[in-house]
């Protein structure tokens, strides 16, 4: 199976994407950031499933909540 070009080499499988997301959430928590909103959680579930790339998730979050 060819690599999906929407995902980097470290995020080709659902397990890899979940591990990256878990690491990012742990980092955010350690820096005192609030947890993901339900909307963000749904987006990142779609990322883990391979339906959206991180860039697509970020674009949808910016569209909904505005720039960071």
Report the half-sphere exposure of 17 (CA within 13 A, side-chain side): 20
pLDDT value at position 2? 56
Distance CA(8)–CA(26), nearest Å, equals: 21
Predicted TM-score of the model (pTM): 0.86
Domain ranges of the chain: 12-65
Q: What is the 3-state secondary structure (H, E, C) of the chain?
A: CCCCCCCCHHHCCHHHHHHHHHHHHHHHHHCCCCCCCHHHHHHHHHHHCCCCCHHHHHHHHHHHHCCC
**pLDDT 10s digits, 13-68:** 999 999 999 999 999 999 999 999 999 999 999 999 999 999 999 999 999 988 76
């Amino acid at each position: 199976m060819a690599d999906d070009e929407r995902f980097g080499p470290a995020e080709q499988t659902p397990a890899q994407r979940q591990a990256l997301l878990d690491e990012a959430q742990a980092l955010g928590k350690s820096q005192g950031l609030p947890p993901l909103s339900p909307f963000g959680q749904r987006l990142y579930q779609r990322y883990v499933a391979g339906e959206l790339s991180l860039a697509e998730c970020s674009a949808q979050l910016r569209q909904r909540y505005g720039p960071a």
